[in-house]
Structure formats: C-alpha cells, structure tokens
Structure 1
C-alpha cells in the first residue's frame, strides 16, 4: 500500500461551524482550542477483480487543533491529527502489505487573513486561508503523504436573523496517489482537488444547531459529505458538540458514514471597538444612539430614562409602574449626566453586538474628567424566559470592555433590573421587545453649584 493520507475531511479552526468557517477572525489575543474524535465506516474499499474489499472498514481518529488571534487581520492555527485505531480485511488479497493500526496524521499549519469584516460596517465577513500540511505523518497507517500539501481557500459568512450561513471555496495541492483499481493495476490520484463547503448554523448563546456540507472534485473522483448536529455550552467558554452524517462518492477516504464529537474552548478579550479613521461617522452614530428618534406611530413604546426615578418609584406615572420596585440608584442633586446611550442585545445574549461607538465616546469623556465622576451601567432584559437572566451579564460585559480600555474599575458601577423597567411595557412586536433587551450607559459627574454672593448685613 503506498503511503498517503486517507483523511479527506478538513475541519475548521477558529470561528464558524466545525466544517466551515464563517469568515470571522479571532480577536487579537483570543485563543480557540478544539479536541475532537471521530469514527469512520468503510473509508477505503478496493476491488480485486472479483469483489470489493474493505481495506479499512472501521477507523477511529482524534485531532487537537488551536487558533490564535495575532493581529486584527491575521489569525494563526495548527492541527495535529492521530489515528487511534483502524481495522479491515486482509490487504494481501490485492498484493498490499498490512496496515499499521496507529500513527501520526498530517500536521497542518494555517494563516487566516481577514479581507472584510462586519465589525468594520461591511456587509459580510470574508477571509483567505493559506495552509501547508507537513509530510511527517505515518504513511503505513494511511495518515501521511510522501510530500507537503498546500491549500488555499476563500471563506465568507453573514448573519441573517437567527441563522448564519457560511461558504468556502478552495483548492488543495497534494502528491499523486497510486491505488489499485478494477480497470488497471494502478491509477494515478489527482494531484490537485477543488474543495467546496457550505454550512448553516443557528445563532445565540445556548444550544445551537449546525449543518455542514463538503464536496471534493477531482478529474477522476468526486466525493461529498453531509454532517449535522448541535453544540451545547458546558461551562463558561467551553462547548460540547456532536455531528454525524453520510458520505457519497468513490474517492478514497470518503466513508459510508462518519460521527464526530468533542469539546471546544474559546477565550477572547473584548474587541477594541474604535475606528479613528472614521471619526465623523462614529460621532454621527453616537449621536443617533444617544438621541433615538421614536416613530410617531409607535405610541406604545414609551422610553423610561434612567434618571427619572422618583416619580415612577412613587407610582405617580400610573398603576403599571406603581407595582415595580424602586430603583436604588438615585441621581443626586449635585450630579449631572454628561453622556447617555443604550446598547441593545439579541435575545438571551450578553455579547456586545458588533460596532458600538457609544462606548468609545464614554471612554473618551470619562478619561477627560480625570478622577471626577463615574460610569453607571444598568442591565435590562425582556420578560421572555430565555432572556430573563441576562441583565447582569449585559452590564458586566460592558463593564469588562470599559476596564479593558483603561477606565479604572472603581469608576464603573453596574446595576441589573431584569425586566422590571422596560422601555415598552406591553411589547407587541419583536422590535419593541428588542428595545427592552438593553444596557443603559450613563456618564455622571458632579454638577458645579452656581456661585453665591454673600451680602454683608447692614
């Protein structure tokens, strides 16, 4: 048996689904580590002229992969696979030597270059992957090519409501493979392959479903695999996943079916949401966020400013507010609000939604005040059960970001109110419910008392 890498499935490192990336890069300093194992059934079947022989009937492999955000436009990753166990029929029937049961797979080093990003207000995420497979795998275990392999591909993704579609297209260059066939003693394997992929995943922070497709197209062989499954959060930053599905095609390494399972750990610092080259646009967006215009036809949407506390807590604004508990944070008579805005979140999420220039303005305004004043962050949630426990996390997420930008922790205060103080008391549409899923950010400083003139008594 000529030594070559039988594995055809390329898993994704970094952001995206297990099979296909979504074009996003890890934040600089972010780390993603994945440990997975998978089982394949009948990945290699040859014909001796009379019948099909399952040279590799069952195969179990494992892979350790990691990706690291080095620069805002550069992510580096590595994959290290292992063949844990494989079994099949005696290959001597076709004149081949017995296979090794274990071995090291082909290590892959990759660089992902960011081209477009939704974080920069662009319509989608687009990246270029450039990778090389090192020829140090165990060829006798069908886990290593005799020479290096190189791949290049484009990866794109976007978010459409509650789903995230992703696509990729690329080419793989690898050494030629000679295998026995039914028509001739040997046939040359393609030295280049076109590889396509697509995936569809649900968004959110809880359990998520994903479906991925991969296809390999070579002059003498075509193969495809369809894998579906789900991801479930286990601990903070840690997820478990399970996927499985069938394979179709005659290319070596395409199993009848495959099952994958494993764990992914991700740790990322808050992104630096700052665009100094577009200060005017940032200022305009900040003003829009700080002073939102309510459409006239949305009379049911009634804003509740964070500092209008006394009347509401006494119930003077109506019976709906009379039953709500009083807010503990009262803006004192010697304090004034110099900046106010809101950050809105998806349902059940406490992750900052993309570009938030408001927070950069908060950082600048606070640092201008030296040691005076403080920042008050109020977390709010919708009444929906999937969103009821995220108010604290939303306030803490913004607090972590502000501290990472240089704001002293002693100057950032947080308070969570759950769904007790909605913007829309009786939301009838998703837009109104989204207004309730928010964090209000206020920059508060001491008000300078007006000068007084003392008149000497007569």
Structure 2
C-alpha cells in the first residue's frame, strides 16, 4: 500500500481556488520520522529489550538512514510525492549512571529530502535540510534475568522537544511524551523481547472532506518485537515495529532485519534494511540504515551465552573461553592443562617432556626438575637425618630415630621404657599403666597407697593393705571411698548417730593418710517420702553434719565439701522398702578441685546409707 494523504474532495483544494495564484499552502506541523534508535543498543538497534548498559558504561551512535516514499498523496488516480526521498542522520548517546538507571539522547537531522514539483498544486515543498525533534529519555531497570528475575524488565520515559523544523516536517506542535515498557530474555545464543509504548503528540488534521475528517496524526500505540543472535562478533537481528493509531489515521508495520559486526571492543558497525506496510504518514516503502557506534560497545555475556570475546582477534582470558583452543592442539581450553603449549589429548594438552629424566613426564611429575621414583609422583625421597624414615613420614626429620617411634629418637630419662613425650613422670620410673609415674607406697608393704586403707601400717594386698588383725571399714577406689558400714542419723534429724562413729573415724583416718586426695565430696541422699524441698534441706544438713564430724577428727575443712541431694538422685526404686533403704545413703567421692562442676555420686556396692 502507498503512504499517502488523500486529497480527493479536499477542503484544502477548495481553499486553493480562492487564494491568489502565487500563494502556496504550507505543510502541516508534524514530525514525519517514525524510526527511533535504541540508544544503548542492548540486544537490538531499534527495539529495547529491557536490558541496560553496565554501570558507568556509555555508547555513542552515528547512523545514516534513507527512507523511500515516506509521504505521498493521490488525486484522481494520480500519485504525487510530497517527500519521495529522505536521508536522515541520527545521533544517539546512552549512559548508565547506575546498574538500574540509564539516560539517553537522540538527535535526528534531515540531511536531504526531495519530492515531486507541487508548485502547480500550490503546495509548498519541504525544506531539503532540517533539524529533527531531539528526544531525551530515562530508563529504569526493574528486573534482571541474571539476578533471579527470570527476565529483563525496564520502564522508560521519553520526551520529544518541539524545537525541530516545521518546514522540514520534523517537528510536532508541542511537547511529545513517549512512555514505554520493555521486556526481554536470553535463550542461549538468542535473545528476544518486546516493547510497548504510548506516544502522546498533538493532534494534527492532514486531509478532510467538508465537515468529515479523513486523515489525522495524533496519539498512537507503538509496539516493537525483536529477535537477535548473541555471543558472536557478527550478530543478526530481526525487528518488527508496528503503530496502532488512537486517532483517525491508518496503521503501519515495518520489518527491519539487520546485522552488527564488532570491529574491536570499542567500535561496532551495523546495517538495517526493510520494508514498510501501511499508509500512515512517515511509513516508507523501504528503509535502509547503516552506521557505527563507539564506546563500551562489546555486549556483556548474558545467562547461558558464550562470550563475544571468544572470537579471533578479540582480547579474552582462557577461563572466559573454555571451548576455544589457544594453542591449536585440538584440546579445548577447558580441559587443556597447558593451554598455551601445543600438546596431545592423552597428555591433557601438554607436550611430552621429562626435564629431570626420571622416566616420568613433566605433565605427571610433581617435581619436574628433581628426579624421583613414580611411587612418590616423581619427587625425590628425602631422609635428612638418615634414619631410614622418609621426611614425609618422619615426625623428627632432623633427628634420627627408629621407625616404630615415627623416626624420632627415643628419649627416656627414667629408663622405664616410656618415651618422655608420653611419660607423665619423665624423671621417675613407673609402669605404663600409670603413664610412667611410680606407685607411692608409704609403708613399703607392696600395696600402693592408692588402694591401701592402712597407708602407714604394713599389711597385705588381700586385706586392703591393712594388717591381718585389722578389718578395714573403708575400701579405696579410683573415684570414691567405699564404706563397709552404714551412716546413721537420729530419726528426722541431722545429728549423726553414735553407732556410725567407727565408720566415720575410718573415713577420717584414710583421708588424713592420703594427702593425694585433695577434695572429698560428702553427698547425702534420701528416699522420696516427704516433700522434695524438705528432703533436700534434711540431706544438706546431714551432709554438713558428717563434714563437721570429719573436721573434728582433724581433717582440714578445705579438703571437704558437703552436698545434699534429697530425693533427686535415686539409685533404686522407691516403690519397695529395700529400694528406699538403698536410696537413703551417704557417699564419699574423690573429686578434682579444678573441675567446674558439682559431683554426681552414683551408688556402688557397700556404700553408706542415710536413715
């Protein structure tokens, strides 16, 4: 279809009949240009796909565009070209102030335009050179695909300034607003997207019959779609731009395929060519555009894309281009252990080389300049102290020692067969089971003090270290003193019953004869009869009474501690009389005074009992 202004039965024509012959009808005040560049050119040259330039980057574009037959009219079957040829220079700049905000500026300049000689029709010819409508824009990024948004989404507001040339059909009558929403997504080596915008411009009647409007330029809906290749130096794109009129004007569609070539990281060449369908003013029969851009024109790598830098002649890192082959050895960079040296696939891209002549090639040799056996990955076996144990396994690589001691010399000052590092008493001989410390035996009866209930009297092992005529009432264990008798108290009182004195006297004697026991914890317990708080108070009072009895027997107070647990720590069932009797008890525990915890007595056979 032809782009035309219908002048059949024009009111304009009737006016021409009444004006002087030399007067010409001026052209309407409209901006005829329908092509706008995408200033940042992210993805497409003329359709925005929701992506912004990286923060701090800029792009400047210079393009020359030719449009054929953008404005015609017909009368009585004859076609007249108001503008048959139009060449326009487009200047555009984009700058990303932040990662989510980008500014743009466009300035079209009509370099040349011409058409039919319409002087006979009393219609003024447009200016051959004209300044177009400057447009500024601000674009805000809302979502990005690479940060989990799924798509690139942006919102832009453009403003066209009414400062162009009206005589050159390059200016609207007032300020022009152009908000638009754009969305795009990367699909591997392709990128697609869509933009929808609204153009608000002053309404301008072009042709009309008497009382009936035929053609008008005004508000319109602009829709664009694009599909572009990515990740290559030469990229292709297909653009479709459509106009849906919101006033009495015809619609239009343009199809614009194109190509872009990255000459170097800061310079790009491009070209577009396509055709227009529709009779809206400004829609050409065909359009051709070519130009160049400089600045930060190398496209960034999107999700799922290969890097455009992975093309011959462009600077890149080996990690950036794992599929390339820098050394041309047919081993891709991603698996080439020697990516800059020609090699073979079986050697992971490395050449066969054995610098130290140890029979292991350098690619497999952990010490390529020092000969060594394959068992040590080509590294020499080092034994600094010459003790037969390799340094890697030698705990003491600078001091000779037997293998069973991890290559360290055996140091045994007390000659007890235990190395000083493992000997708790390195200067005193002692058995292994006591960590090298000697057994203390004050009375020299062969029974160590730790289990001797009569440490100051010669006795037998079978009688707990006591003479045969003495029956010991206390048996020593590693963590407790076991009493061979019960501890009795006055009923419901804390006073110790006198029949418990013999047992407590033995306890006092054992504590005094064993200064190696720094602290004895006296723990008193009850059964569950009575109130818990009362039982705790009763048991605490009884533990204190036992402690005081022992202090009265010359045991230093600082070696004794009293704890009343009440019924909280039973060792038997409280449902039977036997069980309750077992739970009523007094225990004597050997504790570490440095341990920051309360002792937890446990029932052992033969422990004392609380009544």
The TM-score range, normalised by the shorter chain, is 0.5 to 0.7
Given that 2:188 and 2:305 are in contact with CA atoms closer than 8 Å, whether structure 1 keeps it comes out as: no
Q: 1:1-400, aligned counterparts within 5 Å?
A: 1-14=27-40, 15-180=42-207, 187=214, 189-218=216-245, 219=247, 220-267=249-296, 346=306, 349-350=309-310, 381-382=322-323
| Matches of 2:115 and 2:286, distance apart in 1 | 16
Shift of 1:128: 0.7
Normalized against structure 1, the TM-score is what? 0.62
The C-alpha deviation readout for 1:97-136, integer Å capped at 9, x for no partner, is 2211101000000011101101312211011110100000
The C-alpha deviation readout for 1:263-302, integer Å capped at 9, x for no partner, is 122417999x9xxxxxxxxxxxxxxxxxxxxxxxxxxxxx
The C-alpha deviation readout for 1:287-331, integer Å capped at 9, x for no partner, is xxxxxxxxxxxxxxxxxxxxxxxxxxxxxxxxxxxxxxxxxxxxx
Change (3 A) 1:246 1:124: same
List gaps (5 residues or longer) in structure 2: 1-26, 312-316, 350-391, 401-408, 412-611
| Matches of 2:209 and 2:340, distance apart in 1 | 71
Change (3 A) 1:93 1:68: same
Given that 2:33 and 2:282 are in contact with CA atoms closer than 8 Å, whether structure 1 keeps it comes out as: yes
| Matches of 2:322 and 2:262, distance apart in 1 | 21
Shift of 1:206: 1.4
| Matches of 2:59 and 2:120, distance apart in 1 | 45
| Matches of 2:93 and 2:227, distance apart in 1 | 22
SS of 1:96's equivalent?
Answer: coil
Give 2:21's aligned residue: none
| Matches of 1:18 and 1:24, distance apart in 2 | 12
Q: Which has the higher strand share?
A: 1
| Matches of 2:250 and 2:34, distance apart in 1 | 12
| Matches of 1:347 and 1:96, distance apart in 2 | 55
Give 2:583's aligned residue: none
Change (3 A) 1:51 1:345: closer
SS of 1:174's equivalent?
Answer: coil
Shift of 1:96: 2.3
Shift of 1:163: 1.2
Given that 1:19 and 1:213 are in contact with CA atoms closer than 8 Å, whether structure 2 keeps it comes out as: no
Shift of 1:92: 3.6
Larger radius of gyration: 2
The C-alpha deviation readout for 1:231-254, integer Å capped at 9, x for no partner, is 112122211111111101111000
| Matches of 1:250 and 1:266, distance apart in 2 | 38
SS of 2:45's equivalent?
Answer: coil
SS of 2:167's equivalent?
Answer: helix
Larger RCO, structures 1/2 (Cα 8 Å, 6+ apart): 1
List gaps (5 residues or longer) in structure 1: 274-342, 352-375, 395-414, 427-448
SS of 1:221's equivalent?
Answer: coil
Change (3 A) 1:268 1:30: farther
Given that 2:131 and 2:170 are in contact with CA atoms closer than 8 Å, whether structure 1 keeps it comes out as: yes
Change (3 A) 1:139 1:85: same
Shift of 1:16: 2.2
| Matches of 2:299 and 2:79, distance apart in 1 | 55
The count of corresponding residues between Structure 1 and Structure 2 is 321
Normalized against structure 2, the TM-score is what? 0.47
